Amino acid sequence: MPCFVPRFVHRPGVHCGSTGLADVLRLHGWDLSEPMVLGLGGSTGVWLFDGAAGMPERFFLGRGTSFEQRLCRRIGAALQWREEAWDQAWPAMAASVAAGVPCLVLTDLRHLPYYGARGSFHGHLAVLAGRGGAEVWLADAHFPGLQQVPLTALEAAAVSCAPPVGDGLCHWGVIAQLPEPPSEAALRALARAAAVDNAQACLTAADGAVASLQSLRAELPAWAVAPDSSRRARFAAQVIERRGNGGGLFRRMYADFLSEIGLDAAADRARAAASAWSVLALGFERAASDRSAWGALASRVDDVAAAERALWTSVATAG
């Protein structure tokens, strides 16, 4: 007979990580909005990656790979995160579900049948909330209810060698314990501290948003003549607007977070940054089918960089 985590309720959302964490936190009494979960995680920025088979050779993302860990540290949760071979991971995951504890699992979209994805991306968070025989049930951001998939599909998705995770190990974890939900004032203080820390990293870190945008601008001439230039451009446009972030490379959802914690002026800056990112996405879309369109992208990256500096400076000084 199938075994499901009692009282688990999935609410569809925008982004895999913030939706999955929100689902799990509700079991512990923390009923947070998805933008609040995103903001508390403090991993909104720009990161450049080298690709591998099934991916562009160079790409960027707007959410860091340490989101889950940073969120749990911020709120005082005990996140037990493991990276291990499948034959070690699966018995422990199955036992966790049987004990009523859902599992966070990083997956490759290409191996999840309900997505129908043609390309690989091993960085998508799903929540294992049920299992039985040769089947498992996953909670996934964009889909209502639980998705039933073969256990073999989950295995393939969990141990994929595709970037950005891509090491052939199963990356999974559980939230073992969590303090009582804070008061509204205490939650706002936590969230403002997370916003300031994130802003300072975006402004000053070697891999922060400002530095990464400088690197992206410098790389654009090489991107334009790369053998996979069309693929890089198409993927960049998708990452900015359509791949589970609410548009504008997470900045629209981040604006909702800033509004929720009372930083309205910074929220306006976030919406302006989102608009600049959306214009850049249109430029990448054109460049995917017209090589002459690459020449206009440098100025659009400059516009994004200016909007990003204004956004993160506003957050850093207002938090």
Question: Cα–Cα distances in Å, from 6 out to 9, 18, 19, 150, 238?
Answer: 9, 21, 18, 21, 36
- The CA-atom distances, in angstroms, between 156 and each of 84, 210, 259 are 14, 36, 40
Fold of 3-31+78-177: Cathepsin B; Chain A (3.90.70)
Domain boundaries, the chain: 3-31+78-177, 184-318
- pTM equals 0.93
Per-residue pLDDT tens, the chain, 319 aa: give them: 789 999 999 999 999 999 999 999 999 999 999 999 999 999 999 999 987 666 789 999 999 888 899 999 999 999 999 999 999 999 999 999 999 999 999 999 999 999 887 778 888 999 999 999 999 999 999 899 999 999 999 999 999 998 888 889 999 999 988 999 999 999 999 999 999 999 999 999 999 999 999 999 999 999 999 999 999 999 999 999 988 888 999 999 999 999 999 999 999 999 999 999 999 999 999 999 999 999 999 999 999 999 999 999 999 998 6
The span from the CA of 158 to the CA of 51, in Å, is: 18
